[in-house]
């Protein structure tokens, strides 16, 4: 099951969130070599892991972290505006109905990472439709960027990719509509909601 976790709901998912930060350190720092903050030598936590962040958590059958992503409202500080504004040729898209996707991570030992990523993709669309989000922005490395652009949804680059830390990165904008969800459900064969009903209005 996929859960949207924010605010007071974090206490309920404290252990899964701790596992998420551990897995983010393994994936982004140990494996990919990102130069990002590490807390207590174990947890990848940056300045955007704030109170207003919403985490989509995919848990396994034992309640452990299997995959996650972070959603941030663009009305406040966020990665694209505060760290990578140069990726947006016409300025960083901001507004109450625009949110940012970052830190998509699957657990290093997860058995079926493809299904985890599928659920996260569907879940972020369900979250958007339930919370008035009409567009997401995100930035990623170019090898992954082509996959985002080719997913079949209404997606457009925000500027030309640029070199950062020895790798090419780029930013995109993804429109969120009921048709987006219908298309992805038809494409994946998942016809029922993946996001926990109780948590859809977590924002």
Can you list the domains of the chain with their CATH numbers? Answer: 2-194 (3.40.630.30)
Using CA atoms, how far apart are residues 137 and 175, in angstroms rounded to an integer? Answer: 9
Residues 172-200 have pLDDT tens digits of 999 999 999 999 999 999 999 999 865 44
Residues 86-130 have pLDDT tens digits of 999 999 999 999 999 999 999 999 989 999 999 999 999 999 999
Q: Which of 75-89, 136-150, 164-178 has the highest average model confidence (pLDDT)?
A: 75-89
Identify the helix (H) or strand (E) that includes residue 48. Answer: none
Residues 43-72 have pLDDT tens digits of 999 999 999 999 999 999 999 999 999 999
171, 137 contact by CB (below 8 A): yes
Query: In this structure, is the dihedral angle defined by the CA atoms of residues 114, 120, 125 and 129, taken in order, positive or negative?
Result: positive
Query: Could you tell me where the DSSP H helices lie in 12-167?
Result: 14-24, 79-82, 113-130, 142-149
User: How confident is the model at residue 202, as a pLDDT?
Assistant: 46
By mean pLDDT, which of 42-51, 77-86, 135-144 is the weakest? 135-144
User: How confident is the model at residue 203, as a pLDDT?
Assistant: 42
Using CA atoms, how far apart are residues 68 and 23, in angstroms rounded to an integer? Answer: 10
């Amino acid at each position: 099951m996929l859960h949207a976790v924010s605010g007071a709901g974090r206490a309920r998912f404290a252990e899964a969130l701790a596992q998420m930060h551990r897995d983010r350190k393994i994936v982004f720092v140990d494996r990919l070599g990102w130069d990002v903050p590490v807390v207590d030598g174990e947890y990848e936590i940056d300045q955007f892991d704030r109170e207003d962040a919403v985490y989509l958590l995919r848990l396994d059958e034992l309640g452990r972290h299997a995959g996650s992503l972070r959603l941030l409202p663009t009305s406040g500080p966020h990665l694209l505006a505060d760290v990578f504004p140069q990726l947006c040729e016409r300025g960083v898209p901001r507004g109450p109905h625009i949110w940012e996707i970052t830190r998509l991570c699957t657990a290093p030992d997860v058995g079926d990472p493809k299904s985890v990523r599928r659920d996260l993709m569907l879940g972020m669309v369900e979250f958007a439709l339930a919370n008035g989000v009409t567009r997401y922005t995100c930035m990623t490395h170019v090898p992954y960027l082509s996959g985002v652009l080719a997913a079949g949804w209404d997606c457009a680059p925000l500027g030309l990719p640029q070199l950062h830390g020895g790798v090419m990165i780029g930013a995109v904008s993804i429109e969120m509509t009921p048709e987006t969800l219908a298309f992805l459900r038809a494409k994946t064969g998942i016809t029922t909601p993946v996001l926990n009903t109780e948590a859809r209005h977590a924002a």
